[in-house]
Structure 1
Amino acid sequence: MTAAARGGARRIWVTRALPGAEATAARLIAMGLEPLVDPLLAVRDLSPPVDLTDVAVLAFTSVNGVAAFARLHGDRDRPVFAVGDRTARAALEAGFVDVVSADGDVQALAALIVSQAARLDGAVLHPCALEPAGDLISPLVAGGLSARRLAVYETLDRDPSPSTLAGLDGLEAVLLHSPRAARVLSGWLERLPAPGLRALCLSSAVARPLGTLVQAGRLGCVTSAPHPSETALLDLLTP
Protein backbone atom coordinates (compact mmCIF):
# COMPACT_ATOMS: atom_id res chain seq x y z
CA MET A 1 0.00 0.00 0.00
CA THR A 2 1.35 3.42 -0.95
CA ALA A 3 1.68 6.35 1.39
CA ALA A 4 -1.08 8.13 -0.55
CA ALA A 5 -3.42 5.21 0.01
CA ARG A 6 -2.69 5.41 3.73
CA GLY A 7 -3.47 9.13 3.77
CA GLY A 8 0.16 10.27 3.95
CA ALA A 9 2.12 12.70 1.78
CA ARG A 10 1.78 12.25 -1.96
CA ARG A 11 5.43 11.60 -2.85
CA ILE A 12 6.35 11.69 -6.53
CA TRP A 13 9.66 10.36 -7.88
CA VAL A 14 11.25 12.70 -10.43
CA THR A 15 13.64 10.68 -12.60
CA ARG A 16 14.68 13.17 -15.31
CA ALA A 17 18.23 14.50 -15.38
CA LEU A 18 19.31 17.67 -13.62
CA PRO A 19 18.76 20.57 -13.96
CA GLY A 20 15.39 19.81 -15.53
CA ALA A 21 14.43 17.66 -12.53
CA GLU A 22 14.56 20.73 -10.31
CA ALA A 23 12.08 22.58 -12.52
CA THR A 24 9.72 19.60 -12.41
CA ALA A 25 10.10 19.41 -8.63
CA ALA A 26 9.14 23.08 -8.31
CA ARG A 27 5.97 22.45 -10.29
CA LEU A 28 5.08 19.49 -8.06
CA ILE A 29 5.56 21.57 -4.93
CA ALA A 30 3.23 24.21 -6.39
CA MET A 31 0.64 21.44 -6.81
CA GLY A 32 0.94 20.52 -3.14
CA LEU A 33 2.89 17.34 -3.83
CA GLU A 34 6.19 16.15 -2.38
CA PRO A 35 8.87 15.53 -5.03
CA LEU A 36 11.66 13.01 -4.63
CA VAL A 37 14.42 14.14 -6.99
CA ASP A 38 16.59 11.13 -7.78
CA PRO A 39 17.46 11.10 -11.52
CA LEU A 40 17.87 7.88 -13.45
CA LEU A 41 19.90 9.76 -16.06
CA ALA A 42 22.82 12.19 -16.02
CA VAL A 43 23.88 14.58 -18.78
CA ARG A 44 27.47 15.30 -19.83
CA ASP A 45 28.41 17.98 -22.37
CA LEU A 46 30.50 17.05 -25.41
CA SER A 47 32.88 19.37 -27.26
CA PRO A 48 32.50 18.81 -31.02
CA PRO A 49 33.71 21.38 -33.54
CA VAL A 50 30.83 23.55 -34.77
CA ASP A 51 30.65 24.68 -38.40
CA LEU A 52 27.59 26.80 -39.18
CA THR A 53 28.75 27.92 -42.64
CA ASP A 54 25.88 26.30 -44.55
CA VAL A 55 23.36 26.18 -41.69
CA ALA A 56 20.07 28.06 -42.15
CA VAL A 57 18.25 26.96 -38.98
CA LEU A 58 18.77 25.05 -35.76
CA ALA A 59 16.39 22.31 -34.62
CA PHE A 60 16.21 21.31 -30.96
CA THR A 61 14.41 18.31 -29.51
CA SER A 62 15.34 18.87 -25.87
CA VAL A 63 16.20 21.50 -23.29
CA ASN A 64 19.51 19.70 -22.77
CA GLY A 65 20.34 20.16 -26.46
CA VAL A 66 19.64 23.88 -26.21
CA ALA A 67 21.76 24.27 -23.08
CA ALA A 68 24.70 22.26 -24.39
CA PHE A 69 24.76 24.07 -27.75
CA ALA A 70 24.46 27.47 -26.06
CA ARG A 71 27.48 26.68 -23.89
CA LEU A 72 29.39 25.44 -26.94
CA HIS A 73 28.75 28.25 -29.41
CA GLY A 74 27.79 31.92 -29.25
CA ASP A 75 25.58 32.11 -32.34
CA ARG A 76 22.05 33.30 -31.55
CA ASP A 77 21.13 34.76 -34.95
CA ARG A 78 19.78 31.71 -36.73
CA PRO A 79 16.10 30.80 -36.47
CA VAL A 80 15.24 27.93 -34.13
CA PHE A 81 12.62 25.21 -34.47
CA ALA A 82 11.84 23.55 -31.11
CA VAL A 83 9.99 20.31 -30.45
CA GLY A 84 7.77 21.81 -27.76
CA ASP A 85 7.06 24.86 -25.66
CA ARG A 86 9.48 23.91 -22.88
CA THR A 87 12.35 23.58 -25.36
CA ALA A 88 11.28 26.79 -27.12
CA ARG A 89 11.29 28.64 -23.80
CA ALA A 90 14.80 27.34 -23.06
CA ALA A 91 15.97 28.64 -26.45
CA LEU A 92 14.51 32.08 -25.77
CA GLU A 93 16.13 32.14 -22.33
CA ALA A 94 19.45 31.19 -23.96
CA GLY A 95 19.24 34.31 -26.15
CA PHE A 96 17.74 33.04 -29.39
CA VAL A 97 15.21 35.50 -30.78
CA ASP A 98 13.46 33.75 -33.68
CA VAL A 99 11.99 30.61 -32.07
CA VAL A 100 9.04 28.51 -33.24
CA SER A 101 7.57 25.58 -31.29
CA ALA A 102 6.08 22.47 -32.90
CA ASP A 103 4.14 21.87 -29.67
CA GLY A 104 4.45 18.11 -30.08
CA ASP A 105 6.94 15.31 -30.66
CA VAL A 106 9.80 14.70 -33.08
CA GLN A 107 7.39 13.83 -35.90
CA ALA A 108 5.52 17.09 -35.37
CA LEU A 109 8.80 19.00 -35.41
CA ALA A 110 9.88 17.34 -38.66
CA ALA A 111 6.51 18.15 -40.27
CA LEU A 112 6.78 21.79 -39.19
CA ILE A 113 10.28 22.17 -40.62
CA VAL A 114 9.38 20.46 -43.90
CA SER A 115 6.37 22.79 -44.23
CA GLN A 116 8.82 25.71 -44.15
CA ALA A 117 11.29 24.16 -46.61
CA ALA A 118 10.67 26.75 -49.33
CA ARG A 119 12.06 29.55 -47.19
CA LEU A 120 15.07 27.66 -45.82
CA ASP A 121 18.23 28.70 -47.66
CA GLY A 122 20.63 26.15 -46.26
CA ALA A 123 20.88 23.14 -44.01
CA VAL A 124 19.08 22.20 -40.81
CA LEU A 125 21.44 21.47 -37.91
CA HIS A 126 20.10 19.33 -35.09
CA PRO A 127 22.21 19.72 -31.90
CA CYS A 128 21.25 16.65 -29.90
CA ALA A 129 22.29 13.75 -27.71
CA LEU A 130 24.97 11.30 -28.80
CA GLU A 131 22.16 8.72 -28.92
CA PRO A 132 19.00 10.70 -29.75
CA ALA A 133 15.69 9.24 -28.62
CA GLY A 134 14.01 9.98 -31.96
CA ASP A 135 15.03 10.32 -35.60
CA LEU A 136 14.56 13.89 -36.81
CA ILE A 137 16.99 13.74 -39.72
CA SER A 138 15.39 11.02 -41.90
CA PRO A 139 12.01 12.75 -42.39
CA LEU A 140 13.77 16.05 -43.10
CA VAL A 141 15.94 14.45 -45.79
CA ALA A 142 12.88 12.66 -47.17
CA GLY A 143 11.22 16.08 -47.36
CA GLY A 144 14.00 17.37 -49.58
CA LEU A 145 16.03 19.21 -46.96
CA SER A 146 19.72 19.05 -46.16
CA ALA A 147 19.98 18.09 -42.49
CA ARG A 148 22.54 16.69 -40.09
CA ARG A 149 23.01 15.96 -36.40
CA LEU A 150 25.59 17.45 -34.07
CA ALA A 151 26.06 15.49 -30.84
CA VAL A 152 26.51 18.14 -28.14
CA TYR A 153 25.84 16.02 -25.06
CA GLU A 154 25.51 12.43 -23.96
CA THR A 155 23.09 10.84 -21.53
CA LEU A 156 24.40 8.34 -19.01
CA ASP A 157 22.46 5.87 -16.89
CA ARG A 158 22.44 6.69 -13.19
CA ASP A 159 21.65 4.38 -10.27
CA PRO A 160 18.93 5.57 -7.89
CA SER A 161 19.91 5.95 -4.26
CA PRO A 162 19.48 2.98 -1.88
CA SER A 163 16.96 5.01 0.14
CA THR A 164 14.80 5.52 -2.96
CA LEU A 165 14.86 1.81 -3.75
CA ALA A 166 14.06 0.94 -0.14
CA GLY A 167 11.09 3.30 -0.11
CA LEU A 168 9.34 2.40 -3.36
CA ASP A 169 6.18 1.38 -1.52
CA GLY A 170 5.95 4.89 -0.05
CA LEU A 171 5.78 6.56 -3.46
CA GLU A 172 2.53 7.38 -5.22
CA ALA A 173 4.02 7.68 -8.70
CA VAL A 174 7.19 7.88 -10.75
CA LEU A 175 7.48 10.43 -13.59
CA LEU A 176 9.27 9.32 -16.75
CA HIS A 177 10.23 11.80 -19.45
CA SER A 178 12.21 9.53 -21.81
CA PRO A 179 12.32 5.93 -23.07
CA ARG A 180 15.84 5.59 -21.70
CA ALA A 181 14.76 6.48 -18.16
CA ALA A 182 11.93 3.97 -18.52
CA ARG A 183 14.43 1.29 -19.56
CA VAL A 184 16.59 2.03 -16.53
CA LEU A 185 13.56 1.85 -14.23
CA SER A 186 12.44 -1.41 -15.83
CA GLY A 187 15.80 -2.98 -15.01
CA TRP A 188 15.49 -2.04 -11.37
CA LEU A 189 11.89 -3.24 -11.09
CA GLU A 190 12.91 -6.63 -12.45
CA ARG A 191 14.99 -6.94 -9.28
CA LEU A 192 12.85 -4.90 -6.87
CA PRO A 193 9.14 -5.11 -7.76
CA ALA A 194 6.89 -2.19 -6.75
CA PRO A 195 3.32 -3.41 -7.35
CA GLY A 196 1.81 -0.30 -5.75
CA LEU A 197 3.73 2.22 -7.88
CA ARG A 198 2.16 4.19 -10.74
CA ALA A 199 4.41 4.99 -13.72
CA LEU A 200 3.35 8.21 -15.46
CA CYS A 201 4.97 8.65 -18.87
CA LEU A 202 5.40 11.63 -21.18
CA SER A 203 4.24 9.58 -24.18
CA SER A 204 3.40 6.07 -25.33
CA ALA A 205 6.98 5.77 -26.64
CA VAL A 206 8.27 6.46 -23.13
CA ALA A 207 5.90 3.86 -21.69
CA ARG A 208 6.91 1.13 -24.15
CA PRO A 209 10.03 -0.14 -22.28
CA LEU A 210 7.87 -0.89 -19.23
CA GLY A 211 6.19 -3.58 -21.32
CA THR A 212 4.89 -6.46 -19.27
CA LEU A 213 5.89 -5.24 -15.81
CA VAL A 214 2.27 -4.62 -14.79
CA GLN A 215 1.13 -8.08 -15.88
CA ALA A 216 4.09 -9.57 -14.03
CA GLY A 217 3.08 -7.78 -10.83
CA ARG A 218 6.26 -5.70 -10.71
CA LEU A 219 4.54 -2.34 -11.30
CA GLY A 220 1.11 -1.03 -10.39
CA CYS A 221 0.09 0.66 -13.63
CA VAL A 222 1.48 2.60 -16.57
CA THR A 223 -0.25 5.72 -17.92
CA SER A 224 0.84 7.91 -20.84
CA ALA A 225 0.09 11.61 -21.11
CA PRO A 226 -2.41 12.40 -23.89
CA HIS A 227 -0.03 15.03 -25.26
CA PRO A 228 3.81 14.96 -25.03
CA SER A 229 4.17 17.95 -22.71
CA GLU A 230 5.08 18.12 -19.04
CA THR A 231 1.84 19.95 -18.29
CA ALA A 232 -0.14 17.02 -19.69
CA LEU A 233 2.08 14.63 -17.73
CA LEU A 234 1.52 16.44 -14.44
CA ASP A 235 -2.20 16.66 -15.12
CA LEU A 236 -2.23 12.87 -14.65
CA LEU A 237 -1.62 13.56 -10.94
CA THR A 238 -4.81 15.59 -10.59
CA PRO A 239 -7.41 13.60 -8.64
Structure 2
Amino acid sequence: MRRPLVAGNWKMNGSLESIKSLLDGVKAGMSDVKQAEVAVCAPAIYLPAVQQQLQGSDIAWGGQDVSAEASGAYTGEISTSMLKEFGCKYAIVGHSERRAYHAESDDTVARKYAAARAAGLIPILCVGETLEEREKGITESVVARQMDALINLEGVAALADGVIAYEPVWAIGTGMTASPEQAQEVHAFIRGRVAALDAGVAEGLRILYGGSMKPGNAQELIAKPDIDGGLIGGAALDAGDFLGICTAAN
Protein backbone atom coordinates (compact mmCIF):
# COMPACT_ATOMS: atom_id res chain seq x y z
CA MET A 1 0.00 0.00 0.00
CA ARG A 2 1.32 3.43 -0.98
CA ARG A 3 1.66 5.82 1.96
CA PRO A 4 0.06 9.19 1.15
CA LEU A 5 2.40 12.17 0.94
CA VAL A 6 1.32 15.76 1.56
CA ALA A 7 4.11 18.16 0.60
CA GLY A 8 3.82 21.91 1.08
CA ASN A 9 5.45 24.15 -1.51
CA TRP A 10 5.81 27.59 0.05
CA LYS A 11 7.07 29.12 -3.21
CA MET A 12 8.55 32.62 -2.66
CA ASN A 13 6.71 33.28 0.59
CA GLY A 14 7.65 33.55 4.24
CA SER A 15 9.84 35.30 6.78
CA LEU A 16 11.67 33.97 9.82
CA GLU A 17 8.77 35.06 12.00
CA SER A 18 5.99 33.66 9.82
CA ILE A 19 7.82 30.37 9.26
CA LYS A 20 8.26 29.84 12.98
CA SER A 21 4.57 30.48 13.58
CA LEU A 22 3.53 28.25 10.68
CA LEU A 23 5.71 25.31 11.70
CA ASP A 24 4.74 25.63 15.36
CA GLY A 25 1.13 25.31 14.25
CA VAL A 26 1.75 22.34 11.99
CA LYS A 27 3.79 20.50 14.61
CA ALA A 28 1.06 21.07 17.20
CA GLY A 29 -1.50 19.34 14.99
CA MET A 30 0.56 16.37 13.85
CA SER A 31 -0.98 14.05 16.44
CA ASP A 32 -4.11 14.00 14.26
CA VAL A 33 -2.18 12.92 11.16
CA LYS A 34 -2.36 9.15 11.30
CA GLN A 35 -1.44 8.02 7.79
CA ALA A 36 0.18 10.65 5.61
CA GLU A 37 3.83 11.49 5.37
CA VAL A 38 4.20 15.27 5.68
CA ALA A 39 6.88 17.49 4.16
CA VAL A 40 7.49 21.16 3.50
CA CYS A 41 9.58 22.62 0.68
CA ALA A 42 10.93 26.00 1.72
CA PRO A 43 12.83 28.81 -0.02
CA ALA A 44 16.49 27.81 0.08
CA ILE A 45 17.52 30.72 2.28
CA TYR A 46 15.18 29.51 5.03
CA LEU A 47 16.26 25.86 5.02
CA PRO A 48 18.60 26.31 8.03
CA ALA A 49 15.70 27.71 10.08
CA VAL A 50 13.38 24.94 8.90
CA GLN A 51 15.97 22.30 9.77
CA GLN A 52 16.42 23.76 13.23
CA GLN A 53 12.71 23.83 13.90
CA LEU A 54 11.79 20.44 12.44
CA GLN A 55 14.78 18.35 13.54
CA GLY A 56 13.46 15.39 15.49
CA SER A 57 9.85 15.91 14.35
CA ASP A 58 7.75 13.73 12.04
CA ILE A 59 7.85 16.39 9.31
CA ALA A 60 10.37 16.15 6.47
CA TRP A 61 11.62 19.09 4.44
CA GLY A 62 13.11 19.80 1.07
CA GLY A 63 14.09 22.30 -1.61
CA GLN A 64 11.85 23.87 -4.23
CA ASP A 65 14.46 23.34 -6.94
CA VAL A 66 17.96 21.93 -7.34
CA SER A 67 20.76 22.23 -9.87
CA ALA A 68 21.71 19.41 -12.19
CA GLU A 69 25.35 20.40 -11.63
CA ALA A 70 27.41 19.27 -8.64
CA SER A 71 29.32 22.57 -8.22
CA GLY A 72 31.00 25.31 -10.20
CA ALA A 73 30.31 28.65 -11.86
CA TYR A 74 26.53 28.56 -11.66
CA THR A 75 25.64 31.77 -9.86
CA GLY A 76 22.48 31.56 -7.81
CA GLU A 77 22.08 27.79 -8.12
CA ILE A 78 21.68 25.33 -5.23
CA SER A 79 23.39 21.93 -5.48
CA THR A 80 22.22 18.58 -4.18
CA SER A 81 25.03 18.52 -1.60
CA MET A 82 23.89 21.88 -0.24
CA LEU A 83 20.33 20.58 0.22
CA LYS A 84 21.67 17.43 1.87
CA GLU A 85 23.83 19.46 4.24
CA PHE A 86 20.70 21.05 5.64
CA GLY A 87 18.88 17.76 6.11
CA CYS A 88 16.62 17.88 3.07
CA LYS A 89 14.80 14.70 2.10
CA TYR A 90 12.96 16.02 -0.98
CA ALA A 91 13.65 18.27 -3.96
CA ILE A 92 10.97 19.55 -6.33
CA VAL A 93 12.05 19.49 -9.98
CA GLY A 94 10.24 20.84 -13.02
CA HIS A 95 7.56 22.84 -11.25
CA SER A 96 5.36 24.55 -13.84
CA GLU A 97 6.59 27.95 -12.67
CA ARG A 98 10.20 26.91 -13.26
CA ARG A 99 9.28 25.62 -16.71
CA ALA A 100 7.32 28.77 -17.61
CA TYR A 101 9.32 31.57 -15.97
CA HIS A 102 12.82 30.11 -16.19
CA ALA A 103 12.50 28.27 -19.51
CA GLU A 104 13.40 24.88 -18.05
CA SER A 105 13.17 22.20 -20.72
CA ASP A 106 12.09 18.61 -20.23
CA ASP A 107 15.72 17.55 -20.63
CA THR A 108 16.91 20.02 -17.98
CA VAL A 109 14.26 18.77 -15.57
CA ALA A 110 15.25 15.17 -16.24
CA ARG A 111 18.89 16.00 -15.44
CA LYS A 112 17.84 17.69 -12.19
CA TYR A 113 15.83 14.58 -11.24
CA ALA A 114 18.84 12.39 -11.99
CA ALA A 115 21.16 14.57 -9.90
CA ALA A 116 18.77 14.62 -6.93
CA ARG A 117 18.29 10.86 -7.11
CA ALA A 118 22.03 10.20 -7.33
CA ALA A 119 22.56 12.30 -4.20
CA GLY A 120 20.01 10.35 -2.19
CA LEU A 121 17.30 13.00 -2.31
CA ILE A 122 13.76 12.06 -3.30
CA PRO A 123 12.88 14.11 -6.37
CA ILE A 124 9.29 15.27 -6.88
CA LEU A 125 8.88 15.45 -10.66
CA CYS A 126 6.17 17.92 -11.68
CA VAL A 127 4.26 17.33 -14.92
CA GLY A 128 1.13 18.92 -16.31
CA GLU A 129 -0.59 20.84 -19.07
CA THR A 130 -1.64 24.45 -19.62
CA LEU A 131 -5.24 25.49 -20.26
CA GLU A 132 -4.47 25.86 -23.97
CA GLU A 133 -3.04 22.34 -24.10
CA ARG A 134 -6.05 20.90 -22.28
CA GLU A 135 -8.46 22.65 -24.61
CA LYS A 136 -6.54 21.21 -27.58
CA GLY A 137 -7.00 17.72 -26.11
CA ILE A 138 -3.25 17.05 -25.83
CA THR A 139 -2.99 16.64 -22.04
CA GLU A 140 -1.77 13.06 -22.28
CA SER A 141 0.82 13.76 -24.95
CA VAL A 142 2.22 16.70 -22.95
CA VAL A 143 2.46 14.65 -19.75
CA ALA A 144 3.95 11.70 -21.65
CA ARG A 145 6.60 13.93 -23.21
CA GLN A 146 7.58 15.34 -19.81
CA MET A 147 7.81 11.84 -18.30
CA ASP A 148 9.64 10.34 -21.27
CA ALA A 149 12.50 12.82 -20.98
CA LEU A 150 13.36 11.24 -17.63
CA ILE A 151 12.60 7.66 -18.65
CA ASN A 152 14.82 8.01 -21.72
CA LEU A 153 17.66 9.45 -19.62
CA GLU A 154 17.51 7.25 -16.53
CA GLY A 155 15.18 4.35 -17.32
CA VAL A 156 11.79 3.66 -15.76
CA ALA A 157 13.43 2.20 -12.63
CA ALA A 158 14.46 5.74 -11.66
CA LEU A 159 10.83 6.47 -10.84
CA ALA A 160 11.01 3.95 -8.00
CA ASP A 161 13.19 6.47 -6.16
CA GLY A 162 10.96 9.49 -6.69
CA VAL A 163 7.49 10.96 -6.72
CA ILE A 164 5.42 12.46 -9.54
CA ALA A 165 3.18 15.47 -9.00
CA TYR A 166 0.49 16.15 -11.59
CA GLU A 167 -0.08 19.89 -11.90
CA PRO A 168 -2.88 21.03 -14.16
CA VAL A 169 -1.24 24.41 -14.77
CA TRP A 170 -4.63 25.99 -15.44
CA ALA A 171 -5.70 25.15 -11.86
CA ILE A 172 -2.75 26.71 -10.02
CA GLY A 173 -3.54 30.00 -8.34
CA THR A 174 -6.54 30.60 -10.60
CA GLY A 175 -9.31 29.44 -8.30
CA MET A 176 -10.06 26.64 -10.77
CA THR A 177 -9.63 23.05 -9.68
CA ALA A 178 -9.72 19.89 -11.73
CA SER A 179 -12.63 17.72 -10.69
CA PRO A 180 -11.68 14.53 -8.85
CA GLU A 181 -12.63 12.64 -11.99
CA GLN A 182 -10.44 14.82 -14.22
CA ALA A 183 -7.52 14.48 -11.83
CA GLN A 184 -7.94 10.72 -11.50
CA GLU A 185 -8.02 10.34 -15.27
CA VAL A 186 -4.57 11.89 -15.66
CA HIS A 187 -3.16 10.11 -12.60
CA ALA A 188 -4.37 6.81 -14.05
CA PHE A 189 -2.73 7.67 -17.37
CA ILE A 190 0.58 8.39 -15.61
CA ARG A 191 0.49 5.12 -13.67
CA GLY A 192 -0.56 3.20 -16.77
CA ARG A 193 2.30 4.61 -18.81
CA VAL A 194 4.78 3.51 -16.15
CA ALA A 195 3.05 0.12 -15.78
CA ALA A 196 3.52 -0.55 -19.48
CA LEU A 197 7.26 -0.50 -18.79
CA ASP A 198 7.41 -1.88 -15.24
CA ALA A 199 4.32 -2.91 -13.30
CA GLY A 200 6.19 -3.09 -10.01
CA VAL A 201 7.48 0.47 -10.27
CA ALA A 202 4.02 1.68 -11.22
CA GLU A 203 2.40 -0.01 -8.24
CA GLY A 204 4.76 1.64 -5.77
CA LEU A 205 4.91 5.07 -7.42
CA ARG A 206 3.30 7.89 -5.45
CA ILE A 207 1.51 10.37 -7.70
CA LEU A 208 0.42 13.62 -6.06
CA TYR A 209 -2.22 16.09 -7.19
CA GLY A 210 -0.80 19.60 -7.45
CA GLY A 211 -3.70 21.79 -8.58
CA SER A 212 -5.11 23.90 -5.74
CA MET A 213 -5.88 21.14 -3.26
CA LYS A 214 -7.67 22.52 -0.19
CA PRO A 215 -9.23 21.04 2.97
CA GLY A 216 -12.64 21.13 1.28
CA ASN A 217 -11.68 18.98 -1.70
CA ALA A 218 -8.71 16.98 -0.37
CA GLN A 219 -10.60 13.96 0.90
CA GLU A 220 -12.52 13.46 -2.33
CA LEU A 221 -9.36 13.81 -4.40
CA ILE A 222 -7.17 11.55 -2.26
CA ALA A 223 -9.92 8.92 -2.19
CA LYS A 224 -9.34 8.30 -5.90
CA PRO A 225 -7.33 5.12 -6.49
CA ASP A 226 -4.37 6.74 -8.25
CA ILE A 227 -4.09 9.97 -6.21
CA ASP A 228 -1.59 9.45 -3.40
CA GLY A 229 -1.59 12.87 -1.77
CA GLY A 230 -0.93 16.44 -2.76
CA LEU A 231 1.71 19.03 -3.60
CA ILE A 232 0.18 21.99 -1.80
CA GLY A 233 0.75 25.64 -2.65
CA GLY A 234 -1.34 28.38 -1.05
CA ALA A 235 -2.99 26.15 1.54
CA ALA A 236 0.47 25.15 2.84
CA LEU A 237 0.96 28.68 4.15
CA ASP A 238 -1.84 28.27 6.71
CA ALA A 239 -1.27 25.68 9.44
CA GLY A 240 -4.96 24.90 9.80
CA ASP A 241 -5.54 24.44 6.08
CA PHE A 242 -2.40 22.37 5.64
CA LEU A 243 -3.28 20.12 8.57
CA GLY A 244 -6.81 19.77 7.18
CA ILE A 245 -5.35 18.32 3.99
CA CYS A 246 -2.97 16.07 5.93
CA THR A 247 -5.79 14.65 8.06
CA ALA A 248 -7.92 14.15 4.95
CA ALA A 249 -5.28 11.65 3.87
CA ASN A 250 -6.27 9.48 6.85
Work out whether the TM-score is over 0.5: no
Q: Which has the higher helix share?
A: 2
Using CA pairs under 8 Å that are at least 6 residues apart, name the structure with larger relative contact order, 1 or 2. 2
Q: TM-score, normalised by structure 2?
A: 0.31
